[in-house]
Amino acid sequence: MTEPDLPRVDVLRLAAFSARPDGGNPAGVVLDASALSAADMQRIAAEVDFAETAFVTGTAADGAVTIRYFSPIAEVPFCGHATIATAVALADLGRTGGSGTVDEIVFATPVGVVPIAVTRDDTGTRASFTSIDPSVADLPPRDLEALLDALGLSADDLDPDLPPRLSHAGNPHPVLVVADRTTFDGFGFDPVSVRALMDDRGWPATVTVLHRLGAHRFAARNLFPVGRITEDPATGSAAASVGAYLRELEAVPVPGRIEIEQGAHVGRPGILTVDIPAVGGIRVSGHAVPMD
């Protein structure tokens, strides 16, 4: 029995958290998914084969844009880079309704309402989203042990000032901070084993591994084994979780701003800007540009 043909849809392809099409994290964006079923969206995301594809499914009664996110293998509760890409795509097409220097959009996501601001500068179009109220919890010892084993690391490799945690600002992200830059750059992992661990623990997004570069700057590697992908080039939901993690540990002054360098390990460098208020959601911003 053959599968029915997919409805004809236009899929935009944008690179998020970069002003260059060969940097940042590629995202698929479908701006009219109102006629698509969940199975249709999953099949399209698998064909696009980016870390995530975002689907605009309609407009809520309060005017919020309803949106869903799919990786090549499953629906994801929230995706930061695809949120940035979708907001920029809507703004560039004049579909945000803004009339001033800042376009305000609200996305109704599976994890809650996410407000977005879109601005333009000399580099291009930039968007920022504010996460849901985050939560940070201890990472259970058995989970930490399993993660370290999967990455070939030991507890001695971790930064003693930044202990492991499980941080949630849309998706749950285990956060590890490696003290030594050479160790951070050099660790490897088996994607199949890490995927099995993530599925077993109910971690739908990424495992976040950081190295502190300075008081307000971090390097990140986000492990995300899905299909041909092993590491995510730029992860907005993880960046929000990092902001919540640092605030919880009182590791940075708040309100404050940090920058996260990500993607160099997979050949797509990008920058994520994270604004950390004293309370409430974390704001993550970056450019997005068409890849075609």
Distances (CA, A) of 78 to 48, 68, 74: 18, 8, 12
What residues pair up with 210 in beta bridges, in sequence order?
177, 220
Paired tokens of 186: 């050099």
Mean pLDDT of the chain, nearest integer: 93
Classify residue 123 by burial, with Cβ atoms within 10 Å: 0-12, 13-18, 19+: exposed
What is the rounded (10 degree) CA torsion for 151, 156, 162, 166? 40
Q: What pLDDT score was predicted for residue 1?
A: 39
Give the Cα separation of 78 and 110 in Å (integer).
Answer: 7
Residue 279 is encoded by which pair of tokens? 């309370």
Q: How confident is the model at residue 292, as a pLDDT?
A: 77
Q: Is the Cβ–Cβ distance between 23 and 32 less than 8 Å? A: no
Q: Is the pLDDT of residue 45 over 70?
A: yes
Query: Whose CA is closest to 75, among 56, 52, 57?
Result: 52
Band of residue 5 on the pLDDT scale cut at 50, 70, 90: low
- pLDDT (tens digit per residue) in 115-173: 999 999 888 999 999 999 999 999 999 999 999 999 999 999 999 999 999 999 989 99
- Label residue 100 by pLDDT band (50, 70, 90): low
- Residue 160 is encoded by which pair of tokens? 């003693």
226 DSSP assignment: E
Q: Which residue, chain included where needed, has tokens 């097409």? A: 93
pTM of the model: 0.91
Alpha helices in the chain (DSSP H): 38-48, 80-92, 141-151, 181-186, 191-201, 236-248
Distance CA 212, CA 171 (A): 22
Flag the least confident range among 85-89, 97-101, 204-208, 254-258.
97-101
**Which residue, chain included where needed, has tokens 């995202």?**
27
